[in-house]
Structure formats: structure tokens, C-alpha cells
Chain A
Amino acid sequence: MRRLANGGVLGGGLGLLAIGGGLVAGSWFAGEARQEALAVGTACAAVVVNSALVAGVFLGREAFVRYNLALVFPPLFALAAIAAAFFVFGQRTPSAALWRVRWRLVLAAIAVLLLSGGASGLWGARRSRRRWRPRSGVFCAAGRGGERDFVPELPRGPVRGLRHFGRAKRAWRCTRSRCTWRSRCGR
């Protein structure tokens, strides 16, 4: 969530810039461009937030299918919204289409994707906690065994002591897997 907020600074800032650009364009231009400027600006903001935030976070988390859904869902919802605007509400104007299409429904897509991502993340964290809890005793015992074996080899001194601490931590983590420390310890 902190990373999402971190990425949101740029995405949200650029989105606000797009909306501001739409407002400025609406006051500068004339005719058709003036009518559609704000709708296009908000649409651009939604697109920026979607591509910068949602798709990027899913791509970074290696959620490949969810990343692709983040790219497909907004235009799909936009198409559904346009169809609803045309056939259900009877608003067959480009302004109504641009407003409906990209703003409300893209936000809905973002909400759906965020909820699905958050739910799967919580579920994964709970699963990993459950998986590690029963084995923690074995894990600690293995770590202590490794530490006891290689401590006499370690150099002394404050700086090297810090380095030793890093090595000990690494060995602590590696005792459960195949690792060079295991062969060095002779276990």
C-alpha cells in the first residue's frame, strides 16, 4: 500500500495536470475543442492513473494476468458505458460518451482491480504466515547450529564484526535451503 501511494504521487500529479490542462484548453480554445476539452482532460487523467498506478503495480508484483486485465478492463467497461449511454439513457452525443466512457467506468475498473489485488495479497500473507508458524522451532534450531559451527572462524574488530553479523544473518536464513554454509559447516 505504501508503494502504491508512492507511485500515486506521480500518477495522481500527472492526472491533476491533465485535468488542469483540460480546464486551460477549455478556456483557450473555441468551438468543438472547447466543448470537449474538460471531458478529454479527465479522460486523460483516468488513463494516466490507470497505466501508471494499477498496471505498473501489478506488473511489478509479477501478477501478469492481473496486469493484462488492468489494460483490458477499462476500455471494455468504457464500451459497456457507451452502449448504456446510447441505448439505455438515449444520450447520443460525444460529450456524454467521453464523460461516461473514460471517467466513471475507468475508476470502477481501478476499484475492482485494487480490491482483487488487495484481497489476493492479504490471502497470500495469511497463507505464508500459516505455513511458517509450525516450523519456526525447527528453523531456529537449524540457525543456531549453523552459527555455532562457523563462529570460531570469524575475524574480530568492530567493522568486521558488522560484516560477521551480516554473514550470520545470511547463514541463519540459508540453513533451511541448500547453501554453501552447510557444506562449510560439515552438516
Chain B
Amino acid sequence: MSIAFGGIVALFFRGLNLVVALGLVALCSYELEKGDYGRFVLGLTFVGIVNAATGGLTAATAYQVANRAAAAG
């Protein structure tokens, strides 16, 4: 897979992620009441902060998985 094609695939999936996130916000803003919506967004904001903070774990695990075989051989 070339870098350009990989970039297109990654962009597509990021776009899908954005659509899902916007759909979540739209659904909750229409269906929840004003006070409940605030609580829900507060919870989701905290989850998002934790997600951003632990994003480096993905790279660390990937590095470990990718390089373990080469080191052993």
C-alpha cells in the first residue's frame, strides 16, 4: 500500500469518525432535555480527554508488536 493510498484510506476513516461523532451530538441534542444533555456532554468530554491522553499507548503497543519478532531473531 502506497503512502498516498494509505492517506486516502485514513482520511476516509477519519471522515467516518467525524460523521459518527456529529450524528451522536445531533441525536443527543434532539432527544435529551437541556439539563440531561449538559450532563451527557460533560461525561463524553471527560472520556474524550482520557482518550486523547492515552493515545500514545496505541503507538507504544504497535511498536512492541512490530519489533518483538525482529529482536528475538
Interface residues in chain A, defined as those with a beta carbon under 8 Å from any beta carbon in chain B: 3, 6-7, 10-11, 14, 18, 32-33, 35-36, 39-40, 43-44, 47-48, 51-53, 55-57, 59-62, 64-65, 68-69, 71-72, 75-76, 78-79, 82-83, 86, 92-94, 97-98, 102
Contact = CB atoms under 8 A, between A and B. Distances in A.
B24 interface: yes
Given A44-B46, A72-B20, A86-B27, A98 B40 contact: yes
Main secondary structure of the interface of B (DSSP, over half): helix
Interface residues of B toward A: which range? Answer: 35 or more
A70 B24 CA distance: 18
A72 B58 contact: no
B43 A43 contact: yes
Contact of B51 (A51, A56, A61): A51
A40 B44 CA distance: 8
Interface string B20-63: 11011001100111001101101110110011001101111111
Nearest to B20: A75
A18 B43 CA distance: 13
Given A64-B1, A94-B37, A59 B62 contact: yes
Contact of B47 (A47, A62, A65, A94): A47
20 contacts: A14-B57, A32-B42, A39-B43, A43-B47, A59-B65, A60-B63, A64-B1, A75-B21, A75-B24, A76-B16, A78-B24, A79-B23, A82-B27, A92-B33, A94-B36, A94-B39, A94-B40, A97-B32, A98-B40, A98-B43
Contact of B42 (A7, A36, A64, A68): A36
Contact of A102 (B17, B47, B59): B47
B21 to A, nearest CB: 6
A47 B28 contact: no
A56 B57 contact: yes
